[in-house]
Amino acid sequence: MRIATWNINGVKARQGALLKWLEEESPDIVCLQEIKSVDEAFPRMEIEAMGYNVETFGQKSWNGVAILSKHRFDEVTRGLPGDDGDEQSRLIEGVFSVEGGVVRVCCIYLPNGNPVGTDKFTYKLSWMDRLHSFVESRLALEEPFILLGDFNIIPANVDATVPEKWVGDAAFRPESAERWRALLNLGLTDAVRAITDEPSLTFWDFRTFGWERKDGIRIDHLLLSPQAADRLEDAVVHAAERGKDKPSDHVPVVGYFAF
């Protein structure tokens, strides 16, 4: 089974690229972030015509997440628990029946948090604290669980072409790194790092011509419960998508699993 994450940076603007990639790669489950679309405007019919079931948690102009799956959804959860006043669409989870049981796939768009020193950074840290509690509850189920998406976290120096330029950024702050490590310490495995020690970059900034200057970072991740990590066969970053026509600033990351 191939399970992918992709921050699409506006599904309307990237619809052509998305449909072409789905046709070429035919992943089993795809988690999208920053769809920037209300549920009603999502290109559901075009994607369903390719054999996918579609569930969204949209928001006008900002944020928004979606899961596309060749498997039927047994359950769908929308929103991160712990703050009834949080109106941002940043988490959607699906449960799917597979041979021998189920797999639980949770798609997140973790807050950017910049500028540091503002409410945006406070929100990021609070969201990560709530995510920690949420993941604890999921791991207690002792089933294959895959937490994936745009984490807006640079885990280590190897995950940036020029790590020095990110010092002070919310993605690289000690407070963010501490919470990232706390997630991993719950028993999660970083899928890409389980396969390779290479940089494996996933994001190149439009504004600074990052792709053209070969200056990127790794902020899109798949984190696996022990039951999912035992099934991991490979993890591949589709970096070539960034060089195509009308790309997102992120690229797909695909985990290969023996489900």
Known binding-site residue numbers: 7, 34, 150, 152, 249-250
Known active-site residue 28: no
Known active-site residue 250: yes
Q: Which of 28, 150, 169, 220 is catalytic?
A: 150
d(CA 250, CA 6): 7
Q: Which of 52, 71, 109, 220 is catalytic?
A: 109
Query: Could you tell me if 33 and 149 are in contact, meaning their C-beta atoms sit under 8 angstroms apart?
Result: yes
Q: Specify the residue for token string 């054999």.
A: 51
Query: Could you tell me if 47 and 67 are in contact, meaning their C-beta atoms sit under 8 angstroms apart?
Result: no
Peptide bond into 115 cis (omega under 30): yes
As given in the structure block, the two tokens for residue 80 are 């991160």
Known active-site residue 221: no
Query: Could you tell me if 246 and 21 are in contact, meaning their C-beta atoms sit under 8 angstroms apart?
Result: no
User: For the chain, percent helix, then strand, then coil, each to nearest 5?
Assistant: 30, 25, 45
Query: Could you tell me if 41 and 53 are in contact, meaning their C-beta atoms sit under 8 angstroms apart?
Result: no
Report CA Rg, the chain: 17
Which residues carry a binding-site annotation for Mg(2+)?
Answer: 7, 34, 150, 152, 249-250
Query: Could you tell me if 87 and 94 are in contact, meaning their C-beta atoms sit under 8 angstroms apart?
Result: no
Q: Which of 28, 190, 250, 256 is catalytic?
A: 250
d(CA 144, CA 30): 16
Q: What amino acid positions are annotated as catalytic residues?
A: 109, 150, 250
